[in-house]
Every structure is written in C-alpha cells, then in structure tokens.
Amino acid sequence: MNYTYILECADGTYYCGWTNDLEKRVKVHNEGKGGKYTRARLPVKLVYHEEFDTKEEAMSREWHIKQLSRRGKEKLIKGVQ
C-alpha cells in the first residue's frame, strides 16, 4: 500500500508527503531524521492520510495537497475527522 499523509508540526505548520510505510515515516520524522522541514518543528503528529494502490496515485495526491493553502489543508483535515 502507498499513503499520502499530512503531519502537523509542533509550531502549527503542516508537512505533506507520501510513503509505503506510514508508521515508520511518522517515527522517522519524530526522531528528527525526516525531511529538513520537520526537523526544526518537532514533535509531529499524523493528522490525515489516504491509502492508494500505486505509488503514482499517492504522489499525485501529495502534489495536489501541496498546492492547497494552509486554510485548504485545515479544511481537508476537518472534513475527514
């Protein structure tokens, strides 16, 4: 399985990505070994994820989420909680 995810950082910012091992990815970010963006904003928590069959679908969804403003990401997250 492939996943698109959004992490909320301790400072209230959001980080979006894709992975095939969601649990490991969140752990890596919280250990400070994830993207340089989240390293300075620890801890992070998973606030949104979607499951896809292919890597291409997950990457496409990630791109679309990255195009959203902060307000758009918050609306997306609230819509699935």
Tell me the residue range of the domain where 31 lies.
2-71
Domain assignment present for residue 77? The answer is: no
Strand order in the sheet with 14-19: 14-19, 2-9, 44-52
> Residue 64: which CATH number?
3.40.1440.10
For residue 56, being part of any structural domain is answered with yes
Among 3, 1, 70, residue whose Cα is nearest residue 46: 3
Using CA of residue 33, residue 51, residue 63, residue 6, what is the dihedral sign? Answer: negative
- Domain total in the chain: 1
Instruction: Dump strand ranges (E) for the chain.
Output: 2-9, 14-19, 44-52
Q: Does residue 41 sit within a domain?
A: yes
Task: Give per-residue pLDDT as tens, 11-28.
Answer: 888 989 999 999 999 998
Does residue 81 lie in a domain region? Answer: no
The per-residue pLDDT for range 27-48, each reduced to its tens digit, is 988 888 877 777 778 899 999 9
1 or 33: which carries more pLDDT confidence? 1
How many angstroms separate the CA atoms of 41 and 58, rounded? 24
Could you tell me if residue 43 is inside a domain?
Answer: yes
